[in-house]
Amino acid sequence: EEPLPPAVPSCPLPGKICDVSRGERPGSCCGMAMAGFRTAKYQLPEWHRRNAGVYNQAYAASEESGRDRAESKHLSKHAAGCAQRAQQHSKSTLCQRLQDVHFWRVELQKEVMELDAETNLLAAQKLRLERALDATEVPYGVVTDNLQCRDRRQPPDLAIDEVERQLLKEAELIRNIRDLLKRTIIQATNQIRSNRIQKEVCELDWSDKVQTYHIDDKCVSYNNDSTNIQAHPSSVKFEENASTPKTWAQFSHDNIYNAEQEKLASVQLRSLINNIIHDASEDLRMQRAAANEAFDNHCRELDDCKFKLEQHLAKILEDIGEEEANIVALKQAIRDQETHLKVAQTRLYDRSFRPNVELCKDEAQFRLVSEVEELTVFLEALKRKLMESEQCLKNLEETRMQLEKEIAVKANSIFIDRHKCMTFRIRYPVDLEVASYK
């Protein structure tokens, strides 16, 4: 605080020189002839009193002027000191505000960069999902083609076997995987949108902080010697929509918190995508191995069955040849028996023409009759056997045809399973997880 100016000591006013009043003037020696001159003049005491009054008035004015100068000087120094201190305090407050703005600006910038990096990582994971989804088209086409090819099997091989069950299970698994990948892609798309929206919010807040920092930094640089300062009387007011320091800090805090939450959700989604792709790839690989094993086992069973059928066919063909030879032998035996019968019947016939008593039932006659009966019995037995042999040959031919048909069916099934299905399954992707990076 500035020291007070020294006080000016007061002096007593000079005493009266003459106490004679204007009405007590002594008589003039000039008489009535000087009356006009006497009325316009003051007496000497009056002149002294007037001068004393002027002196007193000038002295009082001087004394008041001294006090006013002292007070003005003191007020000017005090006002200058207060203004300097107020300006310095305002500058310190602005500097502290700059630090606060800089802190939140750095935090927001860091959050924007981290959120942008996380969004890029999530976009890469989404691309992996899309590639994995595209990669499932090949195995699904393979499984569908396998099922369609196996529908062209001929009865009785057109059966719901283990291969059929594994292929249906594989097709259902691929459909479930595709549905899961599609839902996850939609979830990743929504999360990327949320990340970008929150990033824009943080960027707007960061941009406002940058602009505010420049404004406050410019305000800190102002001083009394600045050339770009002006009077703005209307600026001394608070805006109706102005925030408080608490709401101002809470706004940025909420933006950063929301960004952290979106970033955490994005990280968890990326981990989930990794697990989904890995599990889907593993499930698909295991099911593919199970289907291939079922194909291998079924093809071995078909080969074994076809081999046994071919063995039976060879035996049937051998039996057919032997049966045909047997029928030829039977026919020859029947012809021989018929010849023997003709001989015996001819003998009986000729002996029936014996004359008179010569027509005797002798031993020869009985023997010829017995021979005819025996030959007839054997001939009938041979004919029955010939019919049985011909029926047996017919059965063998039917069996041969059935075996050849079964062998053709097995060959067709082997061709479909081994050369159509298993050959086409070579195009099956080895690893869905690896395919998601390509």
Cα separation of 65 and 58, whole Å?
A: 10
The residue among 189, 204, 188 whose CA lies nearest residue 255 is 204
pLDDT along the chain (438 residues), means of 10: 45 46 46 52 84 90 90 90 89 91 94 95 94 90 91 87 93 95 96 96 94 90 83 74 87 94 96 93 91 93 93 93 93 92 90 85 88 91 92 93 92 90 79 72
Task: Determine the distance from the C-alpha atom of residue 308 to the mean position of all C-alpha atoms in its chain, rounded to a whole number.
Answer: 56
Report the length, in residues, of the chain.
438
Q: What is the pLDDT of residue 39?
A: 55
With beta carbons less than 8 A apart as the criterion, state whether 63 and 9 touch: no
Q: How far apart are CA 246 and CA 8, in angstroms?
A: 56
C-beta of residue 202 within 8 angstroms of C-beta of residue 118: no
pLDDT for the residue 240: 75
Per residue in 378-427, pLDDT (tens digit) is: 999 999 999 999 999 999 999 999 999 999 999 999 999 888 888 888 87
State pLDDT tens for residues 310-333.
999 999 999 999 999 999 999 999
Please tell me the predicted confidence (pLDDT) of residue 401. 94
Tokens of 28: 């003039």
Which 3-state string (H, E, C) describes the chain?
CCCCCCCCCCCCCCCCCCCCCHHHCCCCCCHHHHHHHHCCCCCHHHHHHHHHHHHHHHHHHHHHHHHHHHHHHHHHHHHHHHHHHHHHHHHHHHHHHHHHHHHHHHHHHHHHHHHHHHHHHHHHHHHHHHHHHHHCHHHHHHHHHHHHHHCCCCCCCCCCCHHHHHHHHHHHHHHHHHHHHHHHHHHHHHHHHHHHHHHHHHHHHHHHHHHHHHHHHHHHHCCCCCCCCCCCHHHCCCCCCCCCHHHHHHHHHHHHHHHHHHHHHHHHHHHHHHHHHHHHHHHHHHHHHHHHHHHHHHHHHHHHHHHHHHHHHHHHHHHHHHHHHHHHHHHHHHHHHHHHHHHHHHHHHHHCCCCHHHCCCCHHHHHHHHHHHHHHHHHHHHHHHHHHHHHHHHHHHHHHHHHHHHHHHHHHHHHHHHHHHHHHHHHCCCCHHHHCCC
Q: Which one-letter amino acid corresponds to residue 72?
A: S
* 106 neighbors 410 (Cβ within 8 angstroms): no
Residue 246: the pLDDT is 92
Between CA 320 and CA 298 the distance in angstroms is 32
Q: Residue 203 has what pLDDT? A: 95
Which among 136, 115, 126, 116 is positioned nearest to 274, based on CA atoms?
126
Q: Which amino acid is at 307?
A: F
